[in-house]
Amino acid sequence: MDSHPEAPLEQPPPPEAPREPMLTLPPALTAYILLLAVIHLRVLLPPEMENWTIDVFGFIPKRYDTTLLDITFPGGAGAKVWTFVTYSLLHANLTHIGFNVLWLLPFGSALARRFGALRFFLFMAVTAAAGALAHLVTHEHAIAPMIGASASVSGTMAAAIRFAFVKGSFLSFSRGDADAAAKVPALPLSRALRDGRVLGFLAVWFGVNIVFGVGSLAIGGGDNVTVAWQAHIGGFLAGLLLFSLFDPVPRVRDDAADASSVDQSGRV
């Protein structure tokens, strides 16, 4: 009887790696938003306690000015240090906090995935401090406290555009899961500033902030609340210029091909 070789058994295809949805929030950003929400519960405090909280943790330029009226602010010398960051965790109302969170969803998510929790929180603190410094320089004698995360939010937007338009990233038409989209190689700053999409984004962003600032229009605030647009610009410039200090992903070389040729795996 003839013997026939047995046909090899077919191997089942390997399971596909799970793909993280683009709209899933990374844990670091979720924690940051929850922190903002918990801190905003201060509005439930009696008015005098709420005002004390803003005076102690809000950023007041006059706190650093000894040339005019001698005013003693709560918090003492320590407040001159911590308010460079803590002001960014306070918000005027739900609309104010909601507006900042809305912008954090796309840009903050991509940055938190790219940086990891520690780098992300440090980046938010540094851009907040840069925004406070810009506000201090332009409002040297102001007594009104500045609050809100807008400077840090602006910093995330600036940092994200360094890789947002690269093929496979989170603002491109060709992208994979959320982690892969957040980790495409970033463009060097000199090259990013030659990209028409980046320049268009910069023009619109600066234009909107200047219009709202010069026109004294409030975004997400109430009556008698104006936009601290100089702080926005301070945070934005810090995010744009300091991005490389935080970025753990190797960059695209200056002599590499155009960003549009970068594939999803990051090869050029």
Per residue in 253-262, pLDDT tens? 654 434 444 4
All structural domains of the chain, each given as residue ranges with its CATH number in brackets, are 27-261 (1.20.1540.10)
Average pLDDT over residues 76-91: 93
Specify the higher pLDDT residue, 42 or 19.
Answer: 42
Q: Biggest alpha carbon distance in the chain?
A: 111
Q: Is pLDDT of 209 > 90?
A: no
Q: Is pLDDT of 232 > 90?
A: yes
Q: Report the alpha-carbon distance of residue 90 to residue 94 in Å, rounded.
A: 11
Q: How confident is the model at residue 33 (pLDDT cuts 50, 70, 90)?
A: very high
Q: Which amino acid is at 32?
A: Y
Per-residue confidence (pLDDT) for residue 217, from 0 to 100: 41
Per-residue confidence (pLDDT) for residue 114, from 0 to 100: 93
Contact 53, 42 (CB under 8 A): yes
Burial-class residue 163 by CB neighbours within 10 Å (0-12, 13-18, 19+). Answer: buried
Per-residue confidence (pLDDT) for residue 178, from 0 to 100: 76
Per residue in 38-78, pLDDT tens? 999 999 999 999 999 999 999 999 888 777 566 777 888 88
> Residue 162 in 3-state DSSP?
coil
Per-residue confidence (pLDDT) for residue 251, from 0 to 100: 72
Per residue in 135-194, pLDDT tens? 999 988 888 899 999 999 999 999 998 988 887 777 655 555 778 888 888 988 888 888
Per-residue confidence (pLDDT) for residue 210, from 0 to 100: 77
Q: Considering the chain, what is the average pLDDT of its residues?
A: 81
Q: What is the pTM of this model?
A: 0.79
Average pLDDT over residues 189-202: 88
